[in-house]
Structure 1
Amino acid sequence: MKKRAIILSTAITFGFIAVVFRLVDIMLFNHEWFSERAKFQQIRKEIIPVKRGIIFDRRGRELAINLDTESIYCDPSEVISPNKVAFAISERINQKPEIILAKLNADKKFNWIERKVNIEYTQSIKDLKLRGIGFAPEVKRYYPKGSLASHIIGFVNVDNDGLEGIEQKYDKYLTSRSEKAYVFRDAKGNVLSDGQSFSLSKEVMGNNVVLTIDEGLQYILEKNLDAAYLQWHAASATAIMMDPYTGEILAMANRPTFDINDPSNAAPSQRRNRAITDCYEPGSTFKIIAGTAALEEGLVKPDTRFDCSAGYIEVGGKRIKDPHKHGVLSFKEVIQKSSNVGTIKIGLSLGRERLYEYIKRFGFGEKTGIDLTGEASGWVYSPSKWSGTSIGAISIGQEVAVTPLQILRAYASIANGGFLVRPYVVSKVVSPEGNTIYKTNPETKRILSEKTANLFREILKTVTEEGGTALEAAVDGNQVAGKTGTAQLIDPKTKRYSKDKYVSSFVGFVPADKPRIAMIVVIHEPKGQIYGGVVAGPVFKRIASESLSYLSIPRDDSGEKGLLMISKNVTGK
C-alpha cells in the first residue's frame, strides 16, 4: 500500500509540474501567439446591416421606412427530426412544411429558411430551442401608405437593393457602405452575452430623400382617378399635378396600380409608370403648338378669321373633318371649339419647318429629364420624312407620340409666362446628421415671349366657358385655363385608326391668372363616352377643387365680387 501511494503521489506531482510548465509557457513565453489564436477562434467579423434612408413627402411625412426583422436559417447537419422541426416552424411563419423540410434536408452547412420575419413570430420559434436553427437580424423596407405614390416611390428586393422608382434612381444616396463589427462567439457560433462590449455596435443609416410630392394632394388625385378609372371601365388612366413655375411634381398616379409592400404579386402592366413610359397620339391637346407658334410668329391675332364652314379640309389628298360643323371662326374660337379645320389652316400658314421648330422648342421627341427611371422620349419625325398629309395630321396631334408628362410641361409653359421647365420629384437629399448633401434646383428655358404666353392663356380660359369644349372642367370660384383632347387609337390588327377606341384627356392650370397647379388627366379607352371634356374634364374639376381647398388657395371671387355674390345669395336679390 505504501509503494502504491508513493507511485500515485509521484505521478500527481509530475503531472502538476507539467501543467505548471505548460501554463508558464502559455502565459509567459507564448502568450501573444495563443492570445491571437484565441481571438481568431472566438471573435468574428460581422457585417452591420445598413438601414436605407427614409423617404419623406414635401411636408416631412414618411412614405418609406425600415422595420427591424429577423431571418431564420439552419445548419441541416445539426437538425434533429427534420419533419417535426419543419412542421413546428411552418405553423409559426405561415409557410408550407414541405418547403421548409426541403431546406432542412439540403446538403449544405447553411441554408435560409425564411427571410425578414416579424420578430414576434421568430420569438415563438426561439422559445422552442430547436437545434440547428439560427436567427439573424435584418432590416425590411416598409411603405406605410400601401399603394399611395407607388409608381414614384418604387420598391426594393429582399436584399434591399432598389429596383424601381426613387428607390432605384436614388439608391446610391439611400444606402451607405456596409460596416463591420466584431463579436464574441462560442464554438457553435452563438453570440456571447458580453460580446457587445467589444463590438462596433452602431446603426448604419443611409441618407434621407425628401420628395416634391405632397401626400395630401397625392391622395386627392388618386382617389378621384380611381373613381374615373372604374366609372369609365378604362384600360388605364394617368394623372399628374405639377408646380408650373418650378417643375416640382406635386402628385402623379396611374391606374392600374399595385401595393409596393407586395410587388411580386403585381403584373408588369400594374408596375409601369405610364405617366412617363407610355406614348400616345395626343389629339387636340397638341394644338397648343400650332396656336402658340402662329401667335409668336405674328401670323395671327386672337380675332383673325378662319372659314371652317365646309366642315372639312383636304390635305395631301386626304379629307380631315371637324366633329361638328362650324362657320367662320376667329383664332380664339378655333382653339376654344377645338376645330381641326381651323387648326390645320394655321399649321399650313406656318409651314413644315416652322411647325417642326416649335414642336422641338416645347421638348417633344426628347425626354423631359425627370429624375425617374424608364422615361420615354416619344417620337416626332423630321419634315424630310413627312408625307403630304403630315402637316395637317401633326397640327391636330396625329403622327406624333408623346407622354402625359410632356403635354403637361407644354401647358405649364403657358401658365408660367413662356418658360419650359424640367420636372422633378426629389427636392433634396439629407444626411442622417441633417445636412443637405444634394438639392434640386429648378431649370427653366424661355421658349415663348411673355406676350404670346399671356395671349394664349386668355384663349385657354374660354375652353371652360360657355361655347368651349370643357364646361365640365370648370372649377367653382376659380377660373381654369386648359384644353381637351380626344384621340383615336391605332387598331393593331388593321393598322388604321380604331372606330371605338379613344384616348380622352384634359390638361390645364388653375387659378388661370395666378396658377398654383398645372394638371393633366388621361383616360385610355373609356367605355360609354369618348370626349375629353366629358370623360377627363370632370376628373380635373374634382381634383382641382379639392386641391385648392387643401392648399387654402382663395377663390378668384373672394374679394368685393365675392362679397356681392354672398350678399345676393343671402338677400335673394
Structure 2
Amino acid sequence: MKTAARAASASRKEHAGEERAIPYRWRVKLLQLLFIMAGLVIGYRLVDLQVLNRHFLQSEGDKRSVRHESIPAHRGVIFDRNGKILAVSAPVMTVWADPQDLIKAPEHWQKLAFALKVDESWLAKKVTSNAAKEFIYLKRQMTPEQSEKVEALKVPGVHILDEQRRYYPMGEVTSHLVGITGIDDKGQEGVELGYDHWLTGSEGTRRLLKDRRGRLAREAELVKSAQPGKELMLSIDSRLQYMAYRELKSAVEKAKATAGSLVMMDVQTGEILAMVNQPSYNPNNRTGLQPYRMRNRVMTDLVEPGSTLKPFTVAAAMETGMYDRYTRIKTGVGYMRVGQNAVKDVRGFGTIDVETVLKKSSNIGVTKMALDIGVDKVVDLLRRVGIGQSPGTGFPGERAGFLPYKDRWSDIEVATLSFGYGLTVTPLQLAQAYSVLGSGGLLRPASLIRRDVAPDGVRVMNEDVAHDVMEMLGKVMGKGGTGWRGAVKSYNVGGKTGTVKKVGGSGYLEDRYVGLFAGVAPVENPRIATVVIIDDPAGQDYYGGVIAGPVFSRVNGQALRMLGVRPSEEKVLTAERPGLKQTGVIKLKQDGT
C-alpha cells in the first residue's frame, strides 16, 4: 500500500511539473518571435534608409550643406552710333540674411546696422518680423567696399550676393531715349524697356558647400556659366544729342515754357540722330523723381501741326497737275468766307503764286487749293507720308497721332485741315514727313538703331513735286519769308513755322500756345530733318518763328558742321533789316505762323 501511495504521489508531482513547463516554453518562443520581428523591422528600416530613400536623404542633407547661388549676367552695353557708352552695368553687392540664424545673434545687430548704415531698431524689426522666413534683403546695391565691411563682421546668417547696377554716363541728356532699369536690372523705360529681351543675359549658377554656420567649407563649383546680354548700338550721335539738349533747354528756360521737344532725323537713312525733351531727369539719381519728367514727348505727345502742315497741302495740290509753284491764286484782302466761318491772312496779299502762298503762309491760299482738289487727295498724301500711322521704332508708348477719316467733310473742316488743325501728330511723325520732302518723295522707316545700309525707301510722293516744295521752303527762310529766324549761316535750309492754340477739356485755350518749327537742311542736298516744339511759353513771344526758329537755326548750323556737310554755294539772304523783326512778329500774331 505504501509503495502504491508513493508511486501515485510521484506521478502527481511529475504531472504538475509538466504543467508548469508548458507555459514557460511558450514564453520563450514568444520572446524569440518578438526578437525576430524586431530584427525584421530594423532590417527593413535599414534597407529603406540606405537603399530605397538614399537619394532623398542625401538631397535633404545637401540642402543643409550644399547651396546654389545665381551668377548675375552682365546686361548688354548701349552705345551711340560712334561707340560712345550710353548705358553700362557696374558690379554692386547685396546683403541678405537668413532670419532664423540672425535672430539667434542679437549681440551682432548693432555693428551690423552700423556697417549697413541703417538704424539698429529698423534692423531688429526687420529680423524679428520675418523670423519664420529663410531669406530677406538687408541692403541692396552696395559698393564692393561697403559689402566687405559687412562680410568682415562674420555675422551668423548674413550673406553677400553679387548683382549689377545700371550707370548712364550722359545722365539727363539721353534719359528719355535710353530710359532706365529697375533695381533688378530689368528695363522700365525707353530703349532699356523696348529692347529688354536683347539686352538681358542668362544667369549662371554655382554650387557652394557651407557648414552649419553658413561659412564656405569648399571652393565654389561652376554649374552653369552666365551669358551676357547683347550690345546695342543706337542711331543717335552723342555730339548732336548733347548740343540739341543744351539748345532746347536754354530756349525753354528763356521762353518760360512748360515743356519742349526736338528731334533730328537723317533724311538719307531714316535714323534718328538726336532726340531730346524738357523737362528731363537724372537716371543716376531718382530721388524725388516726378513721372511727368520721364515722358519722351517726341514719341508720345500729340500736337496740332498748324502751318507746318501747309507744305503737304501744297504738295497734294501739285501732284494733281492742277497747280505748280507759279500758279496764281487770288487771296484778296486777307479775308475769306467759308460757310458760316471766316479764314484770315495776316493781310491782303492779293493775287499771289503758290510759292508766295508758302512764303507768306497764306491760310486763304492753302484753303482754296484744298477745296479745289478735294479733301481726299490731301488726306491721302498725309497718310502716305506717315501722318496717322506709327513710325514703327518699337519705342514703348510710341503714338500714331490722329488723322480724321470722314464720309462727309464740311468746307470749314477742309479749310482748317489744310493749315494744320483738326489732326494731331507727334514731333517724330512730323520730322518723318519732312524727311520725305528732303529725300525726294521717299519714305524710310524711322529707326533708333544704327543702320549700316540705308533702306531703299518707298516712293510716296512725286519726286519733282518734293524737290519743288523743298525749294519753296528755302524761300520761306529768306527775305520776306516767315521763317527767317531759322536761317543758318553758310547753308541754304528750308523750313516752316507754326503756332497753334493749346487744347483743353472744353476746347481751345485762350493765351495758351505751342510754337513749332520744322525743316530740312541743306536744301540742295538734304541731310537732316528737324522739328522743334516749345510748349506753353509764358511770355509775349509765343510764335513758332520767334521761339522755335532760332533753336532750329543753331542746332542745324552746328550739326551740319559736325557731320562735315559742305556749306552751300549760294546762301539765302538772312541779314536782319531795320524793321524786319517787328514786321515778322505782326505776321505771326495775325496768321498763327
TM beyond 0.5:
yes
**1:450 lines up with 2:475 in the alignment:** no
Pick aligned residue for 2:159 from 122, 134, 138: 134
The verdict on how the C-alpha distance between 1:82 and 1:488 changes in structure 2, with shifts beyond 3 A counting, is farther
- Output one character per residue of 1:294-335: Cα deviation in whole Å (capped at 9) or x when no partner: 111112111111222321222231112123442322110110
Matches of 2:556 and 2:120 in 1, distance apart? 52
Contact 2:391–2:446 (8 Å) recurs in 1: yes
* Counterpart residue identity of residue 164, structure 1: E
* Counterpart residue identity of residue 147, structure 1: E
Matches of 1:471 and 1:305 in 2, distance apart? 24
Pick aligned residue for 1:181 from 191, 199, 206: 206
What is residue 397 of structure 1 aligned with on the other side? 420
* Counterpart residue identity of residue 462, structure 1: K
Matches of 1:40 and 1:441 in 2, distance apart? 57
Pick aligned residue for 1:59 from 71, 79, 82: 82
- Cα RMSD between the aligned structures? 2.6
Contact 2:331–2:365 (8 Å) recurs in 1: yes
**1:499 lines up with 2:522 in the alignment:** no
* Counterpart residue identity of residue 543, structure 2: Y
Q: Report the Cα offset of residue 520 of structure 1.
A: 0.6
**1:485 lines up with 2:492 in the alignment:** no
Q: Report the Cα offset of residue 467 of structure 1.
A: 0.7
**1:195 lines up with 2:207 in the alignment:** no
Helix, strand or coil for the counterpart of 1:242? Answer: strand
Matches of 2:248 and 2:121 in 1, distance apart? 43
Matches of 1:162 and 1:441 in 2, distance apart? 29
Helix, strand or coil for the counterpart of 2:502? Answer: strand
**1:468 lines up with 2:481 in the alignment:** yes
Q: Report the Cα offset of residue 336 of structure 1.
A: 1.0
* Counterpart residue identity of residue 271, structure 2: E
Contact 2:268–2:454 (8 Å) recurs in 1: no
Q: Report the Cα offset of residue 261 of structure 1.
A: 2.2
The verdict on how the C-alpha distance between 1:316 and 1:380 changes in structure 2, with shifts beyond 3 A counting, is farther
Q: Which stretch shows the higher mean deviation, 248-257 or 120-129? A: 120-129
1:114-153 to 2 correspondences below 5 Å: 114-153=139-178
Q: Report the Cα offset of residue 268 of structure 1.
A: 2.0
What is residue 544 of structure 2 aligned with on the other side? 532
Pick aligned residue for 1:352 from 375, 384, 388: 375
1:35-50 to 2 correspondences below 5 Å: 41-50=64-73
Q: Report the Cα offset of residue 258 of structure 1.
A: 1.1
Helix, strand or coil for the counterpart of 1:381? Answer: coil
Identity rate, percent: 32
Q: Report the Cα offset of residue 346 of structure 1.
A: 1.1
Q: Report the Cα offset of residue 104 of structure 1.
A: 2.4
Q: Report the Cα offset of residue 185 of structure 1.
A: 2.2
What is residue 253 of structure 1 aligned with on the other side? 276
Matches of 2:538 and 2:347 in 1, distance apart? 21
Contact 1:426–1:440 (8 Å) recurs in 2: no
Q: Which stretch shows the higher mean deviation, 384-393 or 221-230? A: 384-393
Matches of 1:97 and 1:550 in 2, distance apart? 56
Matches of 1:218 and 1:518 in 2, distance apart? 14
Contact 1:48–1:204 (8 Å) recurs in 2: no
- Output one character per residue of 1:499-528: Cα deviation in whole Å (capped at 9) or x when no partner: 311110111111221122111101111122
> Normalized against structure 1, the TM-score is what?
0.85
Matches of 1:153 and 1:75 in 2, distance apart? 37
Contact 1:275–1:403 (8 Å) recurs in 2: yes
Q: Report the Cα offset of residue 201 of structure 1.
A: 7.1
What is residue 566 of structure 2 aligned with on the other side? 554
Q: Report the Cα offset of residue 167 of structure 1.
A: 1.0
* Counterpart residue identity of residue 344, structure 2: K
Q: Report the Cα offset of residue 199 of structure 1.
A: 2.0
The verdict on how the C-alpha distance between 1:90 and 1:43 changes in structure 2, with shifts beyond 3 A counting, is closer
Gaps of 5+ in 2: 1-45, 572-593
What is residue 22 of structure 2 aligned with on the other side? none
What is residue 167 of structure 1 aligned with on the other side? 192
Matches of 1:191 and 1:301 in 2, distance apart? 83
Q: Report the Cα offset of residue 98 of structure 1.
A: 4.5
**1:411 lines up with 2:473 in the alignment:** no
Contact 2:105–2:156 (8 Å) recurs in 1: no
Matches of 1:133 and 1:148 in 2, distance apart? 40
- Output one character per residue of 1:190-209: Cα deviation in whole Å (capped at 9) or x when no partner: 333x423x324744311111
Matches of 2:92 and 2:504 in 1, distance apart? 50
Matches of 1:445 and 1:397 in 2, distance apart? 24
The verdict on how the C-alpha distance between 1:199 and 1:517 changes in structure 2, with shifts beyond 3 A counting, is same
> Normalized against structure 2, the TM-score is what?
0.82
- Output one character per residue of 1:128-159: Cα deviation in whole Å (capped at 9) or x when no partner: 33333221111112112211211111111111
The verdict on how the C-alpha distance between 1:201 and 1:544 changes in structure 2, with shifts beyond 3 A counting, is same
Contact 1:404–1:520 (8 Å) recurs in 2: yes
- Output one character per residue of 1:382-436: Cα deviation in whole Å (capped at 9) or x when no partner: 13253441000100100111111111111101101101121010237xxxxxxxx
Contact 1:371–1:426 (8 Å) recurs in 2: no
The verdict on how the C-alpha distance between 1:335 and 1:203 changes in structure 2, with shifts beyond 3 A counting, is same
Q: Report the Cα offset of residue 291 of structure 1.
A: 0.6
Contact 1:69–1:137 (8 Å) recurs in 2: yes
Contact 2:112–2:153 (8 Å) recurs in 1: no
Contact 1:422–1:443 (8 Å) recurs in 2: no
- Output one character per residue of 1:199-246: Cα deviation in whole Å (capped at 9) or x when no partner: 247443111111111111110110111101111111110000110121
What is residue 532 of structure 2 aligned with on the other side? 521
Matches of 1:376 and 1:476 in 2, distance apart? 35
* Counterpart residue identity of residue 205, structure 2: K
Q: Which stretch shows the higher mean deviation, 520-529 or 376-385? A: 376-385
- Output one character per residue of 1:169-201: Cα deviation in whole Å (capped at 9) or x when no partner: 111111123232222222233333x423x3247
Matches of 1:221 and 1:133 in 2, distance apart? 49
The verdict on how the C-alpha distance between 1:109 and 1:44 changes in structure 2, with shifts beyond 3 A counting, is closer
Matches of 2:293 and 2:118 in 1, distance apart? 27
What is residue 512 of structure 1 aligned with on the other side? 523
What is residue 371 of structure 1 aligned with on the other side? 394
Q: Which stretch shows the higher mean deviation, 49-58 or 140-149? A: 140-149
Q: Report the Cα offset of residue 257 of structure 1.
A: 1.1
**1:282 lines up with 2:305 in the alignment:** yes
